[in-house]
Amino acid sequence: MSKKTLFQKIIDREIPSEIIYEDDICIAINDINPQAPIHILLIPKKPIPKLSDCTDKDKDILGHLFLIIKKITYDLKINESFRVNINNGEDAGQEVFHLHIHILAGRKFSWPPG
């Protein structure tokens, strides 16, 4: 059996985290090292390593994640301005190889990103 990712351990409650949303398909937690006043990680429970590993079979999960972004940002009253980010691969800054979406809000963001 392959080794559990950090986020799989969080999903399985082997590592504590601040859970702000959970359903059958995904979990959202506060990032341990926030890069903005609000920095949430939205993680599918299926251990897909990265976005580029997704297939047609994952389209319901991917669609669900984006609608949950809408729900979380609405519930937190940050739906007017927020940033959504996926790091795909080491050169893009991915450190945990279990797909996750960063949701950032609460400050101004510049473009292009670093």
Using CB under 6 A, which of 17, 38, 40, 65 touches ligand AMP? Answer: 17
Confirm whether 100 is a catalytic residue.
yes
Identify residues 42-81 at the interface with ligand AMP (CB under 6 A): none
How far apart CA 112 and CA 69 sit, in angstroms, is 22
Q: Assess 19 for contact with ligand AMP (CB under 6 A).
A: no
Using CB under 6 A, which of 29, 68, 101, 104 touches ligand AMP? Answer: 29
Nearer to ligand AMP, 31 or 58 (CB): 31
Using CB under 6 A, which of 37, 89, 93, 106 touches ligand AMP? Answer: 93
List the one residue out of 82, 79, 14, 17 whose CA is nearest residue 43: 17
| Burial class of 32 by CB neighbour count within 10 A (0 to 12, 13 to 18, 19+) | exposed
The neighbouring-strand residues paired with 38 are: 105
Task: Point out the residues that are catalytic.
Answer: 100
